[in-house]
Amino acid sequence: MQKILLVDSEKCTGCRACEMVCSVKHEGVSNPTRSRIHVIKWEAEGFALPMICQQCESPPCMAVCPKDAISRDEELGRVAVDYDLCIGCKMCVAACPFGGMGIDTVARRVVKCDLCDGDPTCVRFCQMEALQYVPASTLNLRKKRDAGRKFAELMSRFA
């Protein structure tokens, strides 16, 4: 069963450890600029949202690539860049509506989340479980359960 990287923004405390461990895992350095995941914050409102590549089924990045360097890997359920074919034109960066494709000016290539080949480092380090790596079927059932719990609580007051 394919697993999905689930983001639960309500649990995120905005610590950005995910950004750091991602860049260390992939590039051996601590540098959020070279991370594949970023926590976007609205400080005045107290809201933090981890943003990553959505591993689309019909990826816009794949559609615009002039060299067919981007493809879907069905085993891991991820969208991957073949750097042997990639020319670094950055059309994929422009096409992605989520900012999922980034530009690494040190490594001089486009970068995106590769789910760490099935063991996402960010998930490993997120103590809050704001990031989870769960089977696709679990994903919305879990959300239904969380929402349902609030509903059940409310109902019990009127029972």
Partner 1 sequence: MALNRKIAYINLSNGEIEIAPIPLEMRKLYLGGRGMDMYLLYNHTKQGIDPLGPDNVLLVSAGVLVGTLASASARTHVAAKSPLTGFVGSTNMGGFFAPELRWAGFDHLVIKGKAKKPVYLWINDGEIEIRDASHIWGQGVFDTQENIRQELGDEEVKVMCCGPAGENLVRFANVMTGLKNAGGRSGLGAVMGSKNLKAIAVRGTMDIAIKHPEQALEYDEQMINKVNRTKFAQIMQKWGTMFIYGVTNSTGLIRCQNFQLNQLVGGDIECEHIEEVSFGTEGCFGCVIHCRHKYIIKEGPYAGVYAQGPEYTSQGAFGMEVGCNNFNTILVGNHLVNTYGLDTLETGSMIAWAMELYEKGILTDEDTDGLKLEWGNDEAVIEMVHRIAERKGLGDILAEGPLRAAEKIGKDSLKYNIQVKGMSNLHSDERPTPALALGIATGSRGSDHLRSRPAIDLYHLPEPVLRKIYSNPTPYDGPLTSNYTDYEGKPRQVQWHEMVYEAVDCLGVCKYHTIFLSPNLLSFEEFCKLLYYNTGIEMSPQEIWEVADRAYTVERLFNIREGLTREHDWLVDRYFDEPTPVGLPVARGKKLDREKFKKMIDEYYGLHGWDENGVPRPETLEKLGLDKEPSHKL
Residue 48 Cα to chain centre, angstroms: 14
Stretch that binds partner 1, among 43-51, 57-65, 81-89, 91-99 (CB under 8 A): 43-51
Stretch that binds partner 1, among 11-19, 79-87, 94-102, 144-152 (CB under 8 A): 11-19
93 makes contact with partner 1 (CB under 8 A)? no
Binding to partner 1 by CB under 8 A, coded x per residue (else -) over 123-142, reads: -xx-xx--------------
109 makes contact with partner 1 (CB under 8 A)? no
Helix (H, G, I), strand (E, B) or coil at 93: helix
CA distance 110 to 67: 14
Q: Give phi and psi for 6, each to the nearest 5.
A: -95, 130
In Å, the largest CA–CA distance within the chain is: 64
**Which of 24/76 has CB closer to partner 1?**
24
Single out the residue of 35, 55, 121, 132 in contact with partner 1 (rule: CB under 8 A).
121
Number of Cα atoms under 13 Å in the Cβ half of residue 5 = 28
**Which of 25/72 has CB closer to partner 1?**
25
Q: How far is the CB of 124 from partner 1 (least distance, A)?
A: 7
Please identify which residue in the block is written with the tokens 């422009």. 94
Question: Of 47, 46, 51, which is closest to residue 35 (Cα–Cα)?
Answer: 51
Q: If you compute the radius of gyration of the chain from its CA atoms, what whole number of angstroms results?
A: 18
Beta bridge partners, 132, equal: 6
31 makes contact with partner 1 (CB under 8 A)? yes
Beta bridge partners, 78, equal: 73
Q: How far is the CB of 117 from partner 1 (least distance, A)?
A: 15
28 makes contact with partner 1 (CB under 8 A)? yes
Write out the residues near partner 1 by the rule CB under 8 A.
Answer: 10, 13-17, 20-21, 24-25, 27-34, 43-46, 48, 106, 121, 124-125, 127-128
